Amino acid sequence: MIKLPGLIDPHVHVREPGATHKEDWDTATQAALAGGFTTILAMPNTTPPIFDEKTLDLGLASAKEKARCDYAQFLGAGPDNASLAAELAPRAAGLKMYLDSTFGELRLDDMSLWMAHFASFPKNLPIVLHSESRTMAAGILFAAIYDRPVHIAHISLKEEVLLIKAAKEKGIKVTCEVAPHHLLLTAPSSVPPASGGETLIPPPFTGGARGGRLEVRPRLATQADVDALWANLDVIDCIATDHAPHTLEEKDSENPPPGFPGLETALPLLLTAVDEGRLRIDDLIEKMHTNPKRIFNLPDQPETWIEVDEDARYEIRSAEQFTKCGWTPFEGWQVKGRVTRVLLRGKEVVKDGKILAKKGFGSNIRE
């Protein structure tokens, strides 16, 4: 049995408001606790998106009523809410900017719309960028111009991690995260129909998802990209799940939405990598607790830790998970390491697979 600090996931799609058939604050925070996460930071691209005082109040009211672990809510950057976002910043986890395709109130059609946000958002909180490849490079340029920190979400490519490495060497204030699925899955050899195709899974793993269930953004990359991420883990500050649940009916449809659930699979997958010698326990603590706490300026959680049976071997099964979406791309994977107990602020909230925390026990860490 090993004891770890409560994990922090800075990238969770709770799906509330607007898509509670996929997930909500109750089920997402149950899944978080089951996976060893005692704090989650929620993304703003809900329906409606969280981008002003009214929608922030709406999201936080649901969290206050339902959350079982601690939390904070991101604000979304829009084309005309820079001043308001700066005013609301003390109540938010940070600012999320979607520099690639998105929709509605969070759509930023050109770089001139980024400028007001970079100029006005408080520098003690990072701006988080959904950016890929060249838009990521542009975001790093903005960090240098405005001399303020940025955090790059879910990197997936060799060119991205190498550029971030070069930017850090130049003293640019950039941090980044990687999701477990971008470390452990590669793109299928061709784009398959929903019933076919294979994932390329590093030994000794077997099983996994197929077809539309492989749709995710950023897309799964090549083995060369995966190898580059592993080779440059020292450049990567955080491991974040990008928990983005959709129902199986949606994933198996003709137009499957992108995204994977991940809160309950991240730690066992990474503990298995520790067992294989690909990671160290100290790496997990640094990238799943210490660095997220520092980057997002999070408070201490007194009397908070998780206990893990590092020798437990088992198969990942979606039927045993708390997430509402009811599936995982890692179905059938053999893993080693199971969360057995979680304490949050002195209270036992998980014991042997049972969630003991009540709805509303979670605390807004920005209050």
The per-residue pLDDT for 100 is: 83
Sequence-distant (≥ 6) Cβ neighbours of residue 45 within 8 angstroms: 13, 76, 96, 98, 102, 106
Q: Residue 206 pLDDT > 60, yes or no?
A: no
**Mean pLDDT to the nearest integer, 211-219:** 92
Q: Tell me the pLDDT of the chain averaged across its residues.
A: 93
Domain for residue 276, yes or no?
yes
What is the per-residue pLDDT for 210? Answer: 60
Antiparallel, parallel or unpaired: β 305-315 and 150-152:
unpaired
362 located within any domain = no
Q: Specify the CATH number for the domain of residue 118.
A: 3.20.20.140
Note the pLDDT of residue 65.
98
Among residues of the chain, what percentage have pLDDT more than 70? Answer: 93
Domain presence at residue 300: yes
For the chain, what percent of residues have pLDDT higher than 90?
A: 90
Enumerate residues 6+ apart whose C-beta is below 8 A from 188: 197, 198, 199, 200, 210, 214, 220
Q: Output the CA–CA distances (angstroms, integers) from residue 119 to 123, 294, 335, in the order listed.
A: 9, 22, 45
pLDDT digits (tens, 9 = 90+) for 255-265: 999 999 999 99
For residue 334, being part of any structural domain is answered with yes
Whether residue 90 has pLDDT greater than 80: yes
Residue 257 forms part of a structural domain: yes
169 falls within a domain: yes
- What pLDDT, on a 0 to 100 scale, did the predictor assign at position 103? 64
The pLDDT tens digits of the residues spanning 125-172 come to 989 999 999 999 999 999 999 999 999 999 999 999 999 999 999 999
Contact between 98 and 106 under an 8 Å Cβ cutoff? The reply is yes
**Which carries the bigger pLDDT value, residue 203 or residue 35?**
35
Confidence (pLDDT) at 190? 35
| pLDDT, position 208 | 47
Residue 363 inside a domain? The answer is no
pTM for the full predicted model: 0.94
Give the pLDDT of residue 104: 74
Instruction: Average the pLDDT over 258-275 and give the result.
Output: 98
Number of domains in the chain: 1
Q: Do 32 and 26 meet the contact criterion of CB atoms below 8 Å apart?
A: no
- Mean pLDDT for 102-129 is 91
Say if residues 195 and 212 touch (Cβ distance below 8 Å). Answer: no
Task: Look at residue 191 in the predicted model and tell me its pLDDT.
Answer: 40
Mode of pairing for the β-strands spanning 354-355 and 347-351: antiparallel
What number is the average pLDDT over the span 217-226? Answer: 96
CA torsion angle 303 306 307 311 (round to 10): -160
Mean pLDDT of the region 316-321: 97
Q: Comparing 79-88, 92-101, 183-192, 281-290, which segment has the lowest mean pLDDT?
A: 183-192
Does residue 337 surpass a pLDDT of 60? yes
Can you tell me the distance from the alpha carbon of 29 to that of 32, in angstroms, rounded to the nearest whole number?
5
User: Six-digit token pair at 295?
Assistant: 């980057």
Would you say residue 97 lies in a domain?
Answer: yes
Residue 41: count of CB within 10 angstroms of its CB: 25
Q: Which helix (H) or strand (E) holds 71?
A: strand 70-73
Domain that residue 45 falls in: 2-355
pLDDT at 126: 87
Beta bridge partners of 95: 75, 127
Contact 7, 306 (CB under 8 A): yes
Contacts of 90 (CB under 8 A, 6+ apart): 122, 366
Asked whether residue 228 carries a pLDDT value surpassing 50, the answer given is: yes
From the centroid of its chain, how far is CA 240?
4
